[in-house]
Structure 1
């Protein structure tokens, strides 16, 4: 925000603007008018698409550093990457995940429809259980992947990083099923770190301690109904909280207030990206392109290329891409998305991945891991190079060859 704040009057009663560090300065309640669209402003002139937690994020931000996610503006860094990462890995971190696409699927034939669209069956999924969901086209190439929640016998929620609603609607034709994009009606928060259970207990929740991974439950937090799930992409102890957008600020503020006792901090997109890399998670439009957006058909990848073969069940009723995936499984994938550790502090100038003197692939994303004290990276390499005797190296833009250690995902061990 560039607008100077001149009104230093007391904040509204009931709004907690306390700070956990004298370096943060005095708390000033953000003026909602900063983010309101002028009455005479045409819709296409709006530059900031905000989440239900944008005012809270602006209030907590000490850097005014923002990132774009699915058209929304989210905090990139609140205080510093070092402070936020330390909180996430040693205590707890809270982040806004509202930009995720949320699609509700319901109806008498919803299970049959999902079995046709996904690479694994969902009939055995219990209520309040979730599973990794991969969707392919007829060539066995990944369109998108995310998390599927079963909320009832005939109700599911599919959570994705990007919307493919048109394709989903077309694919559901002929089934007695209703699809609805409910992204605007559900806000999302992520609470992660070894002290997450403590934060939730301080907020009055006892159920999280017994909530199994990939399961969810309805809880009440501060009088607000919240769907709490043991899901997330950052590894370790992680919860996601889904609530009405009107309740999101109250949930966020309550967690931060009670979490101060154990060192909870808000964390931005920069630290979330480091954490998901440490957890070995690949992102659509970052590490791979959807089959619909790949510039060349050869750039479209199968689940086996992305090391998601565990999400594919070939021995069942017909589903999208089944025949093509059977051929790939029999012949072997041509690519592999693998992890590398690099003895390189700044990987901004990295070039191709080499196997001996031959180019074997490319780095798709990388970050410095404070926990591992090295640069970690995901790289897409030719599968044939994995069995070669020559080691891997990264050629920098300066012409240097940096050794690259092939490493199992996730980088930080089981999560």
Structure 2
């Protein structure tokens, strides 16, 4: 183990994290140049230069996944480490104390968009695998670095990765996300729904000549809030995932274009983000929602709505006795000298689909305070990032070479 750890260099880790942050990879469908292409190509070339077997594949136009493979010299299991290249928008950069795309180092913290979510952890996975390669140590099996696009969106990258067969022989996966290096075995599910309430345009001074969809919209929001409260009462608070939620995140009236003060809109739109926990079944929950809509048709005059489920991500869990969990537990204790801390992931991850579609056991672990992602002046601690890199390297060896 020590022969590998001495190849984990702080300067290499910090430099790579900074380099990744300095390449903006915020996706914008309205801007042809705003995507993950530049950072993916940079990673591809970097990994190829240091001797990995590397592939680059477009999951969508100008949105390429990078896959790197390191093969052992004996047959064995396959372990996957996943870290995405996309980051969320920084918003108004002038409101940041540290520039979002400069990777500034201050007081042993690296600042910038993606520092902890998840370019720092992506760098940690690369440095960990490279340390194993550079050590020249013999190991069985295979290491795959999955570096996909679009984790912050519809997870196009991991879906494409799975569809192309890359996950077919994977026995365990580490998802490199910012969770304070807690060992997370439970991941909340997500359902995204678009609800459109139909109305009829009219002059604001003669509202009864039309049908106001905002009345129906208000009833939908209140009724689904009641359903949320019933689910919270039925299930209680999950030890690691907290309560389930049914959240209206976007409310628009009309659904397209701009509203006008003296115009009754012809329709309205509510976008819902549902987060599920164990004990909830997607089909049952969606059936309850449809029943609410049917009831509103009876109770609210002229109520007419349609809804579309645009994404379903099931709640998933990995058992504590799984080999990938035991490997990470052992690595954590070895690196930190402490007992592991367990937790859950409040949002879906790319690991959701690895677990749900391919039944691959997944552990989510990585550097970064849990509440820092997506905020201004995002940062990651260098000391914690070094700890993470060592945990990744030790976990890989524990998993591939049992009792290493």
Q: What is the TM-score when the length of structure 2 is the normalising length?
A: 0.30
| Higher normalized strand content (fraction of residues) | 1
Q: What is the TM-score when the length of structure 1 is the normalising length?
A: 0.29
Name the structure, 1 or 2, with higher relative contact order (CA <8 Å, separation 6+). 2
Structure of larger gyration radius: 2
